[in-house]
Structure 1
Amino acid sequence: MIKPRTKAPDLTIDLVNDTTWSLADQTPDNFTLVVVYRGKHCPICKKYLQTLQQHLPEFTEKGVNLIAISSDSEKRAKATYDEWKVKDLPIGYNFPIAEARAWGLAISKGIKEEPEEFIEPALFLIRPDQTLYASSIQTMPFARPEIEELLKSIDFIVKENYPARGEA
Protein backbone atom coordinates (compact mmCIF):
# COMPACT_ATOMS: atom_id res chain seq x y z
CA MET A 1 0.00 0.00 0.00
CA ILE A 2 1.20 3.49 -0.83
CA LYS A 3 1.10 5.78 2.18
CA PRO A 4 -0.32 9.29 1.90
CA ARG A 5 2.29 12.05 1.60
CA THR A 6 4.68 9.70 -0.22
CA LYS A 7 5.45 9.74 -3.93
CA ALA A 8 3.15 7.64 -6.06
CA PRO A 9 4.82 5.06 -8.30
CA ASP A 10 5.56 6.13 -11.86
CA LEU A 11 2.61 5.54 -14.15
CA THR A 12 2.78 5.67 -17.94
CA ILE A 13 -0.02 4.04 -19.87
CA ASP A 14 -1.35 3.83 -23.43
CA LEU A 15 -4.74 5.46 -24.07
CA VAL A 16 -7.56 4.35 -26.35
CA ASN A 17 -7.02 7.48 -28.49
CA ASP A 18 -3.57 6.13 -29.50
CA THR A 19 -1.61 8.50 -27.24
CA THR A 20 0.32 7.86 -24.05
CA TRP A 21 -0.50 9.31 -20.63
CA SER A 22 2.07 9.81 -17.89
CA LEU A 23 1.56 10.82 -14.26
CA ALA A 24 4.86 12.73 -14.42
CA ASP A 25 3.45 14.94 -17.20
CA GLN A 26 0.33 15.95 -15.25
CA THR A 27 0.16 19.56 -14.08
CA PRO A 28 -3.25 19.90 -12.41
CA ASP A 29 -4.13 22.88 -10.26
CA ASN A 30 -5.07 20.59 -7.38
CA PHE A 31 -5.05 16.84 -8.06
CA THR A 32 -4.81 14.01 -10.53
CA LEU A 33 -7.51 11.40 -9.99
CA VAL A 34 -6.50 7.90 -11.10
CA VAL A 35 -9.52 5.59 -11.24
CA VAL A 36 -8.78 1.89 -11.64
CA TYR A 37 -11.68 -0.12 -13.01
CA ARG A 38 -12.06 -3.88 -13.40
CA GLY A 39 -12.58 -3.91 -17.17
CA LYS A 40 -15.18 -4.26 -19.88
CA HIS A 41 -16.75 -7.31 -18.19
CA CYS A 42 -17.94 -5.21 -15.22
CA PRO A 43 -21.40 -3.56 -15.41
CA ILE A 44 -20.76 -1.67 -12.16
CA CYS A 45 -17.61 -0.19 -13.72
CA LYS A 46 -19.66 0.90 -16.71
CA LYS A 47 -22.01 2.90 -14.50
CA TYR A 48 -19.08 4.34 -12.50
CA LEU A 49 -17.20 5.50 -15.59
CA GLN A 50 -20.37 6.96 -17.09
CA THR A 51 -20.88 8.93 -13.86
CA LEU A 52 -17.29 10.17 -14.10
CA GLN A 53 -17.97 11.22 -17.71
CA GLN A 54 -21.08 13.09 -16.59
CA HIS A 55 -19.15 14.98 -13.88
CA LEU A 56 -15.95 15.56 -15.86
CA PRO A 57 -16.60 19.33 -16.24
CA GLU A 58 -16.90 19.64 -12.45
CA PHE A 59 -13.58 17.88 -11.93
CA THR A 60 -11.99 20.22 -14.47
CA GLU A 61 -13.46 23.27 -12.68
CA LYS A 62 -11.94 22.01 -9.43
CA GLY A 63 -8.49 21.66 -10.98
CA VAL A 64 -8.53 17.87 -11.12
CA ASN A 65 -7.11 15.86 -14.03
CA LEU A 66 -8.71 12.46 -14.43
CA ILE A 67 -7.87 9.10 -15.98
CA ALA A 68 -9.50 5.65 -15.82
CA ILE A 69 -7.26 2.61 -16.27
CA SER A 70 -7.58 -1.17 -16.37
CA SER A 71 -5.59 -4.25 -17.25
CA ASP A 72 -7.87 -4.82 -20.27
CA SER A 73 -6.26 -5.33 -23.67
CA GLU A 74 -6.27 -2.54 -26.23
CA LYS A 75 -9.13 -4.19 -28.13
CA ARG A 76 -11.32 -4.55 -25.01
CA ALA A 77 -10.51 -1.02 -23.80
CA LYS A 78 -11.38 0.52 -27.17
CA ALA A 79 -14.65 -1.42 -27.20
CA THR A 80 -15.35 -0.15 -23.67
CA TYR A 81 -14.71 3.42 -24.79
CA ASP A 82 -17.07 3.10 -27.77
CA GLU A 83 -19.83 1.06 -26.15
CA TRP A 84 -19.94 2.83 -22.77
CA LYS A 85 -20.11 6.31 -24.32
CA VAL A 86 -17.36 7.88 -22.22
CA LYS A 87 -16.01 10.03 -25.04
CA ASP A 88 -14.24 12.66 -22.90
CA LEU A 89 -12.73 10.33 -20.32
CA PRO A 90 -9.11 9.31 -20.86
CA ILE A 91 -9.08 5.50 -20.82
CA GLY A 92 -5.81 3.67 -20.28
CA TYR A 93 -5.28 -0.03 -20.93
CA ASN A 94 -2.79 -2.87 -20.38
CA PHE A 95 -1.99 -1.72 -16.83
CA PRO A 96 0.38 -4.54 -15.86
CA ILE A 97 -0.65 -6.76 -12.95
CA ALA A 98 2.88 -6.44 -11.49
CA GLU A 99 2.56 -2.63 -11.46
CA ALA A 100 -0.91 -2.91 -9.96
CA ARG A 101 0.58 -4.93 -7.11
CA ALA A 102 3.18 -2.16 -6.56
CA TRP A 103 0.25 0.26 -6.15
CA GLY A 104 -1.22 -2.11 -3.53
CA LEU A 105 -4.17 -3.14 -5.67
CA ALA A 106 -6.22 -6.30 -5.29
CA ILE A 107 -5.99 -8.82 -8.13
CA SER A 108 -8.70 -11.37 -8.93
CA LYS A 109 -8.70 -14.57 -10.94
CA GLY A 110 -11.40 -14.57 -13.57
CA ILE A 111 -14.61 -16.56 -13.46
CA LYS A 112 -17.18 -17.01 -16.22
CA GLU A 113 -16.66 -14.26 -18.86
CA GLU A 114 -13.91 -12.41 -16.98
CA PRO A 115 -10.27 -12.16 -18.07
CA GLU A 116 -7.87 -14.71 -16.57
CA GLU A 117 -6.63 -12.08 -14.09
CA PHE A 118 -7.73 -8.50 -13.57
CA ILE A 119 -7.40 -5.61 -11.16
CA GLU A 120 -10.12 -4.72 -8.68
CA PRO A 121 -11.29 -1.09 -8.43
CA ALA A 122 -9.35 1.69 -6.76
CA LEU A 123 -9.16 5.42 -6.69
CA PHE A 124 -6.06 7.56 -6.09
CA LEU A 125 -6.09 11.31 -5.48
CA ILE A 126 -2.59 12.57 -6.22
CA ARG A 127 -1.18 16.05 -5.63
CA PRO A 128 0.65 17.95 -8.41
CA ASP A 129 4.01 16.98 -6.81
CA GLN A 130 2.95 13.32 -7.37
CA THR A 131 2.50 12.55 -3.68
CA LEU A 132 -0.51 10.52 -2.70
CA TYR A 133 -3.23 12.52 -0.96
CA ALA A 134 -5.85 9.76 -0.56
CA SER A 135 -6.73 6.32 -1.85
CA SER A 136 -9.62 3.90 -1.82
CA ILE A 137 -8.75 0.32 -2.71
CA GLN A 138 -11.49 -2.29 -3.17
CA THR A 139 -11.42 -6.07 -3.32
CA MET A 140 -14.81 -6.24 -5.08
CA PRO A 141 -16.75 -4.11 -7.56
CA PHE A 142 -18.95 -2.80 -4.72
CA ALA A 143 -18.58 -0.02 -2.13
CA ARG A 144 -16.73 2.53 -4.25
CA PRO A 145 -16.58 6.22 -3.30
CA GLU A 146 -19.60 8.12 -4.63
CA ILE A 147 -18.52 10.63 -7.30
CA GLU A 148 -20.74 13.44 -5.97
CA GLU A 149 -19.30 13.00 -2.45
CA LEU A 150 -15.78 12.96 -3.84
CA LEU A 151 -16.42 16.28 -5.58
CA LYS A 152 -17.70 17.80 -2.31
CA SER A 153 -14.65 16.45 -0.50
CA ILE A 154 -12.30 18.06 -3.01
CA ASP A 155 -14.00 21.41 -2.36
CA PHE A 156 -13.46 20.98 1.39
CA ILE A 157 -9.84 19.84 0.98
CA VAL A 158 -8.93 22.82 -1.19
CA LYS A 159 -10.89 25.42 0.84
CA GLU A 160 -9.56 24.26 4.21
CA ASN A 161 -6.11 23.24 2.97
CA TYR A 162 -6.86 19.93 4.69
CA PRO A 163 -3.76 17.75 4.99
CA ALA A 164 -3.43 14.18 3.74
CA ARG A 165 -4.13 11.68 6.51
CA GLY A 166 -3.08 8.09 7.16
CA GLU A 167 0.65 8.61 6.83
CA ALA A 168 1.67 7.46 10.34
Structure 2
Amino acid sequence: MSTPYVDHPLQPGDQAPNMVLDAISREGKIALDDFRGRSPLLIGLFRGLHCPFCRRHVAAMAQLNPALREKGVESLAVVNTPVERARLYFRYHPIPDLLAASDPVRALHRAFGLPIIEFTENETDWPYKVGMDEVMTMRVDRPEELPEPMDPATAGDLLSKKDGYEITEADQQMRIPGHMQLVGHFLLDREGVVRWSFTEVEGEGRNVCRALKPEELMAAASQVAHK
Protein backbone atom coordinates (compact mmCIF):
# COMPACT_ATOMS: atom_id res chain seq x y z
CA MET A 1 0.00 0.00 0.00
CA SER A 2 1.44 3.35 -1.00
CA THR A 3 1.76 5.89 1.78
CA PRO A 4 0.45 9.40 1.20
CA TYR A 5 3.00 12.06 2.11
CA VAL A 6 2.61 15.72 2.97
CA ASP A 7 5.52 18.05 3.71
CA HIS A 8 3.93 19.78 6.71
CA PRO A 9 1.64 18.68 9.55
CA LEU A 10 -2.04 18.48 8.67
CA GLN A 11 -3.86 21.63 9.74
CA PRO A 12 -7.43 22.29 10.91
CA GLY A 13 -9.70 21.81 7.92
CA ASP A 14 -7.49 19.14 6.30
CA GLN A 15 -8.96 15.70 5.63
CA ALA A 16 -7.10 12.94 7.45
CA PRO A 17 -6.03 9.92 5.39
CA ASN A 18 -7.23 6.41 6.02
CA MET A 19 -4.68 3.87 7.22
CA VAL A 20 -4.97 0.27 8.42
CA LEU A 21 -2.63 -0.74 11.25
CA ASP A 22 -2.02 -3.76 13.48
CA ALA A 23 -3.94 -3.44 16.73
CA ILE A 24 -1.92 -3.72 19.94
CA SER A 25 -4.69 -3.61 22.52
CA ARG A 26 -6.65 -6.39 20.78
CA GLU A 27 -6.27 -8.81 17.88
CA GLY A 28 -6.81 -7.75 14.29
CA LYS A 29 -6.53 -4.42 12.54
CA ILE A 30 -7.57 -0.84 13.25
CA ALA A 31 -8.52 1.48 10.39
CA LEU A 32 -9.06 5.22 10.74
CA ASP A 33 -12.12 4.81 8.55
CA ASP A 34 -13.63 2.66 11.32
CA PHE A 35 -14.38 5.93 13.16
CA ARG A 36 -15.50 8.02 10.20
CA GLY A 37 -19.16 8.91 10.43
CA ARG A 38 -19.33 7.39 13.92
CA SER A 39 -17.33 9.51 16.37
CA PRO A 40 -14.62 12.17 16.66
CA LEU A 41 -11.15 10.69 17.18
CA LEU A 42 -8.01 11.82 18.99
CA ILE A 43 -4.93 10.25 17.38
CA GLY A 44 -1.66 10.29 19.28
CA LEU A 45 1.31 9.60 16.99
CA PHE A 46 4.35 8.62 19.04
CA ARG A 47 7.90 7.42 18.62
CA GLY A 48 8.65 3.87 19.66
CA LEU A 49 8.27 2.79 23.25
CA HIS A 50 12.05 3.12 23.57
CA CYS A 51 11.33 6.87 23.96
CA PRO A 52 10.74 7.62 27.68
CA PHE A 53 8.71 10.73 26.87
CA CYS A 54 6.41 8.80 24.55
CA ARG A 55 5.82 6.12 27.16
CA ARG A 56 4.64 8.84 29.51
CA HIS A 57 2.54 10.58 26.89
CA VAL A 58 0.76 7.33 26.00
CA ALA A 59 0.02 6.79 29.70
CA ALA A 60 -1.30 10.36 29.94
CA MET A 61 -3.51 9.73 26.91
CA ALA A 62 -4.96 6.68 28.67
CA GLN A 63 -5.74 8.83 31.71
CA LEU A 64 -7.58 11.38 29.55
CA ASN A 65 -9.49 8.71 27.64
CA PRO A 66 -12.46 8.39 30.07
CA ALA A 67 -13.11 12.16 30.05
CA LEU A 68 -12.91 12.24 26.25
CA ARG A 69 -15.28 9.30 25.97
CA GLU A 70 -17.80 11.16 28.10
CA LYS A 71 -17.79 13.76 25.32
CA GLY A 72 -18.17 11.06 22.67
CA VAL A 73 -14.54 11.29 21.49
CA GLU A 74 -12.60 8.06 20.89
CA SER A 75 -8.80 7.84 21.27
CA LEU A 76 -6.10 5.92 19.42
CA ALA A 77 -2.42 5.78 20.35
CA VAL A 78 -0.01 4.80 17.55
CA VAL A 79 3.56 3.78 18.37
CA ASN A 80 6.59 3.08 16.15
CA THR A 81 7.13 -0.27 17.86
CA PRO A 82 6.62 -3.76 16.38
CA VAL A 83 3.27 -5.14 17.51
CA GLU A 84 4.53 -8.08 19.59
CA ARG A 85 7.06 -5.93 21.43
CA ALA A 86 4.35 -3.34 22.12
CA ARG A 87 1.91 -5.97 23.36
CA LEU A 88 4.54 -7.27 25.77
CA TYR A 89 5.19 -3.78 27.14
CA PHE A 90 1.51 -2.95 27.63
CA ARG A 91 0.91 -6.30 29.31
CA TYR A 92 3.03 -4.99 32.19
CA HIS A 93 2.07 -1.32 31.79
CA PRO A 94 -1.68 -1.48 31.08
CA ILE A 95 -3.54 1.30 29.28
CA PRO A 96 -7.11 0.35 30.21
CA ASP A 97 -9.65 0.84 27.40
CA LEU A 98 -7.24 2.88 25.24
CA LEU A 99 -7.02 1.64 21.67
CA ALA A 100 -3.43 1.31 20.49
CA ALA A 101 -1.87 0.37 17.17
CA SER A 102 1.59 -0.44 15.84
CA ASP A 103 3.18 1.47 12.96
CA PRO A 104 6.87 0.47 12.83
CA VAL A 105 7.34 1.94 9.34
CA ARG A 106 5.94 5.33 10.42
CA ALA A 107 3.39 5.37 7.60
CA LEU A 108 0.79 7.35 9.55
CA HIS A 109 3.38 9.87 10.73
CA ARG A 110 4.31 10.58 7.10
CA ALA A 111 0.65 10.78 6.08
CA PHE A 112 -0.01 13.35 8.81
CA GLY A 113 3.06 15.36 7.78
CA LEU A 114 5.32 14.69 10.78
CA PRO A 115 8.94 14.74 9.56
CA ILE A 116 12.03 12.91 10.72
CA ILE A 117 14.51 15.53 11.90
CA GLU A 118 18.27 15.19 11.46
CA PHE A 119 20.67 16.09 14.27
CA THR A 120 23.66 18.15 13.14
CA GLU A 121 26.54 19.78 14.99
CA ASN A 122 25.36 23.37 14.62
CA GLU A 123 23.11 23.67 11.55
CA THR A 124 19.39 24.23 12.15
CA ASP A 125 16.70 24.25 9.48
CA TRP A 126 13.61 23.45 11.54
CA PRO A 127 11.86 20.99 11.31
CA TYR A 128 14.27 19.07 9.05
CA LYS A 129 17.59 19.70 10.75
CA VAL A 130 18.50 20.82 14.25
CA GLY A 131 21.95 21.57 15.65
CA MET A 132 22.94 19.96 18.92
CA ASP A 133 23.87 23.44 20.10
CA GLU A 134 20.16 24.29 19.67
CA VAL A 135 18.97 21.07 21.31
CA MET A 136 21.02 21.83 24.41
CA THR A 137 19.09 25.10 24.88
CA MET A 138 15.70 23.33 24.82
CA ARG A 139 14.09 22.56 28.16
CA VAL A 140 11.73 19.82 29.28
CA ASP A 141 10.00 20.48 32.59
CA ARG A 142 8.55 17.55 34.53
CA PRO A 143 8.59 18.76 38.14
CA GLU A 144 7.24 15.47 39.44
CA GLU A 145 10.13 13.52 37.92
CA LEU A 146 13.02 15.84 37.05
CA PRO A 147 14.98 17.92 39.60
CA GLU A 148 14.88 20.91 37.23
CA PRO A 149 14.06 21.75 33.60
CA MET A 150 16.58 19.93 31.42
CA ASP A 151 17.54 19.58 27.77
CA PRO A 152 15.73 16.64 26.09
CA ALA A 153 18.81 14.41 25.87
CA THR A 154 19.74 14.72 29.54
CA ALA A 155 16.11 14.44 30.64
CA GLY A 156 15.57 11.37 28.47
CA ASP A 157 18.63 9.61 29.90
CA LEU A 158 17.51 10.33 33.45
CA LEU A 159 13.97 9.09 32.83
CA SER A 160 15.21 5.95 31.09
CA LYS A 161 17.42 5.10 34.06
CA LYS A 162 14.49 5.69 36.38
CA ASP A 163 12.25 3.39 34.33
CA GLY A 164 14.78 0.61 33.92
CA TYR A 165 13.40 0.10 30.41
CA GLU A 166 15.34 -2.63 28.63
CA ILE A 167 16.14 -1.80 25.01
CA THR A 168 15.59 -4.93 22.90
CA GLU A 169 16.66 -5.70 19.34
CA ALA A 170 13.14 -4.74 18.21
CA ASP A 171 13.59 -1.34 19.86
CA GLN A 172 17.03 -0.88 18.31
CA GLN A 173 15.58 -1.47 14.86
CA MET A 174 13.16 1.41 15.39
CA ARG A 175 15.90 3.91 16.15
CA ILE A 176 17.20 6.12 13.35
CA PRO A 177 20.86 6.97 14.07
CA GLY A 178 21.39 10.71 14.01
CA HIS A 179 17.69 11.39 13.50
CA MET A 180 14.41 11.54 15.43
CA GLN A 181 10.79 11.15 14.39
CA LEU A 182 8.73 14.19 15.38
CA VAL A 183 5.37 13.37 16.91
CA GLY A 184 2.04 14.88 17.86
CA HIS A 185 -1.69 14.64 18.47
CA PHE A 186 -4.52 15.31 16.01
CA LEU A 187 -8.19 15.66 16.90
CA LEU A 188 -10.52 14.64 14.05
CA ASP A 189 -14.24 15.32 13.78
CA ARG A 190 -16.77 12.65 12.81
CA GLU A 191 -15.97 13.12 9.14
CA GLY A 192 -12.23 12.65 9.65
CA VAL A 193 -11.35 16.33 9.30
CA VAL A 194 -8.59 17.73 11.52
CA ARG A 195 -9.98 20.27 14.00
CA TRP A 196 -7.09 20.66 16.48
CA SER A 197 -3.48 19.53 16.80
CA PHE A 198 -0.46 19.66 19.05
CA THR A 199 2.85 18.63 17.47
CA GLU A 200 6.58 18.87 18.05
CA VAL A 201 6.87 20.66 14.72
CA GLU A 202 5.22 23.83 15.99
CA GLY A 203 7.09 26.47 17.95
CA GLU A 204 10.53 25.95 16.39
CA GLY A 205 11.24 23.08 18.77
CA ARG A 206 9.64 24.44 21.93
CA ASN A 207 7.23 21.48 22.00
CA VAL A 208 9.88 18.77 21.65
CA CYS A 209 9.29 16.03 24.26
CA ARG A 210 6.62 18.16 25.95
CA ALA A 211 3.15 16.97 26.89
CA LEU A 212 0.05 18.63 25.54
CA LYS A 213 -2.06 20.80 27.85
CA PRO A 214 -5.13 18.78 28.86
CA GLU A 215 -7.30 21.89 29.22
CA GLU A 216 -6.62 22.89 25.60
CA LEU A 217 -7.42 19.39 24.35
CA MET A 218 -10.63 19.16 26.37
CA ALA A 219 -11.80 22.56 25.15
CA ALA A 220 -11.23 21.46 21.55
CA ALA A 221 -12.95 18.13 22.23
CA SER A 222 -16.00 19.95 23.59
CA GLN A 223 -16.29 21.96 20.36
CA VAL A 224 -15.83 18.91 18.13
CA ALA A 225 -18.32 16.85 20.14
CA HIS A 226 -21.09 19.40 19.54
CA LYS A 227 -20.66 19.53 15.76
Quick check: TM above 0.5? Answer: yes
CA pair 79-10 structure 1, distance change in 2 beyond 3 A: same
What is aligned with 1:6?
14
1:132-143 mapped onto 2 (5 Å cutoff) = 132-138=194-200, 141-143=208-210
**TM-score, normalised relative to structure 2:** 0.60
Residues 50-92 of structure 1, C-alpha deviation per residue, up to 9 Å, x if partnerless? 2222222111011111000022111221123223221321110
Which amino acid letter does the alignment assign opposite residue 127 of structure 1?
A: D
* Equivalence for 2:71: 62
- 5+ residue gaps, structure 1, are 162-168
Q: How many residues align?
A: 160
| 3-state SS, counterpart of residue 104 of structure 1 | coil
Does the 8 Å contact 1:44/1:141 carry over to 2?
A: no
How far off is 1:102 after superposition? Answer: 2.7
Question: d(CA) in 2 for partners of 1:154 and 1:124?
Answer: 11
The verdict on how the C-alpha distance between 1:128 and 1:120 changes in structure 2, with shifts beyond 3 A counting, is same
Q: In structure 1, how many angstroms separate the alpha carbons of the residues matched to 2:187 and 2:38?
A: 13
Contact 1:35/1:69 (<8 A) preserved: yes
Q: Which of 54, 71, 75 matches 1:45? A: 54
**Alpha-carbon separation, structure 1, partners of 2:56 and 2:108:** 25
Q: Which residue pairs with 1:166 in the alignment?
A: none
1:46 Cα shift? 2.0
Q: Equivalent residue for 1:150?
A: 217
- Residue 34, structure 1, aligned to residue 43, structure 2: yes
**Do the aligned partners of residues 48 and 116 (structure 1) sit closer, same or farther apart at CA in structure 2, a change above 3 Å counting?**
closer
Cα separation, 1, equivalents of 2:223 and 2:108? 31
- Structure 2: gaps of 5 or more residues: 1-7, 119-152, 158-166, 202-206
145-154 vs 34-43, which moves further: 145-154
Aligned to 1:85: 94
Higher Cα radius of gyration: 2
Match for 2:19: what amino acid?
L
